[in-house]
Structure 1
């Protein structure tokens, strides 16, 4: 009996030890499975800037619109075609020289007629002097002769001056026509592509005129737009920008502010008056600094202007912070446990926030935190992201 009891006691002990080991193993696995796995971000120093977003339109860097000079007469020949690529100095079209030649002939006839009239009036002046000397023989009429001779002389001298002025005007018009005749052929002043040719470019009812030829330069393009008076105080020439086309939202072109007009154009002022606008807009231009393909003339784009640029500041992505009781917090991972910290924020843009206090360079911050998490909670850390 004693032997049986001893065997029974030993069996119970072995079963207890095995059961305890199984319990501890299961507990360990269960406890490990409850540890939250988190994504993290390592705090780094980098450049930070605030972003101002404006709208604009892609335009050629250079354009030339050549209008018809009515004083040159009609156009005889056009030497280019739409879509043709031209260089600076390319002959574009030629005015008809026949009209200018006819005007010059008329001026030459007018000058000859004026010269004859001038000669006639000078002869009258000479004759007036001879008549005056003859009338002096009659002393009874000397006073009347002097008075009449003076009046006639003044009138003839006025006629001579008038004719001489007419001759000067004639010579000026003739000189102008000679210059025009030397410039009958119109040449381009920019290199580019002929976008449009209007052979019968007449003034419309709005008193505007279509150009005979419109030339636009090839890439690189530039961007033109307007910003409000509230944003204009932050924008200066030379500031870097990012340009995104609405039809190519995944593509980004680098550029910089080339100019900003600090007084509104007359068109903008007129538009503001007509619409009773309470905010004035100011024109700006952006020069693109990369020549990647994709943009087209006329594309509508958004322009992200970098303002308030700071170097070497602590930055965090938006998805690591959470708000509670009007304050902002992050969870820092220390020895695989969470440490809740309050932070203060400086600049912000679409990607990052500047952190003024609360974290240090190299800290590991939890991404996508939950408000219900507590200090000291154990977590499993994935590889930090940048």
Structure 2
């Protein structure tokens, strides 16, 4: 008797289960489906960076060469020694002039040449200032979420991060170039003052002419045999020199920012790439590949540079790619189909939307999102666990959030409202 009841009941149960599974999995089924979402997060913004780490050495940022033309007169004596710390105007050597008239004409022609160079540099500075980009921003609508219901609320936010970042970068490089050109003008003016002093000596009928330094630094080398350059002056400021691999030269270019680290100073020091050699170094690496010299200069105003000396070894990080304050998501949150990328977005209607997005750079597991989603919108962090875009969704009950204090602090209206929503809301 029991078997007569048991067998039909088992068959009926299997039939019901199979029928329901068929209806659920059937294409275009009318059966309501829900997705279970365990992890979700609002879209946020941050700065993304990619960099190349290198080891390098400090060297003098500049060397000034002082020449002696024996046709101008007879050399008398050096007034400095190797290793001397000198400044602008320090007397370097003297020579005796025999033909004062011709020497004065020669010095005046040199002054005119330097003045022409200054005029040319000033014209170049004017051209550089016209390259400064005008500040421009675009308005983009973004979403914030209502605290109680998570519904998106549109707000206006001024942002076009890529254009703004590019404008700042261009302006920075222009200002750096202008500063270098202004320094060249200062050096040329120092040379003019030096020549004018020599002319004054000639006009006073002095035949012993003194040549002074037009730059500050340290006397690195002196040619006792009177070969040229007669004196080499190394600047006190340092720059970073290193070698790049063949692949690294494709990523590192002039103007890129760099961060320098040294055991001689505690703080990191900012700089920028000023030169990447086109030709390789003469020596090859152990595996036979070429390397290319590059150099990095320190930013103006950086402190603790006095503690750094030529020959010190440093580490540096060259920023090869950067996106400032951009929307970004974890790379595993993206769904990729061919060349298209998607995010699963939770809409204010309580459904899951598969939305196409445009992506940018990738850094440390995060991807820049350039368009398709707005700040504050909620996306699903693990889309691989979802296969029902467009469906409603359920989330796990977080018991740790359901405390006695939270229940006591909730007002009666909120409790009643959520209770009725739970009972009466239909999917």
TM-score (norm 2): 0.39
TM-score by length of 1: 0.42
In our comparison, the structure showing a higher alpha carbon Rg is 1
